[in-house]
Amino acid sequence: MFNIGKCNICKQGLLEIVKDENSGKIYICCDECEAEWDCPKDVLSKKNGTRNKCGRIIYPTQEEVLEQRWEVDIYEHHN
């Protein structure tokens, strides 16, 4: 699993890189407060996150994460 750091909303959760199981869309979701953002740029600009916009999540592969070409530090973690 991959993340981009701590949530700036709840200050507790990890901002995980996740994938919507149905659409395949890769986005950012806090593992505590469940706020969602389309991309790291939205998180870092302190744009308000949404909730329940996407469906059931699965975790993307490292290759899928790298394909996003996001210009942000990405960390690997294990639950």
What pLDDT, on a 0 to 100 scale, did the predictor assign at position 34?
Answer: 94
Model confidence pLDDT, tens digit, residues 16-66: 999 999 999 999 999 999 999 999 999 988 888 888 888 899 999 999 999
Residue whose structure tokens are 């592969």: 61
pLDDT for residue 14? 96
Among 35, 38, 27, which Cα is nearest to 52's? 35
What is the pTM assigned to this prediction? 0.91
**pLDDT, tens digit, 9 for 90 and up, residues 11-29:** 999 999 999 999 999 999 9
Q: Where are the domains of the chain?
A: 2-76
Q: What is the dihedral of CA 11, 13, 14, 16, to 10 degrees?
A: -120
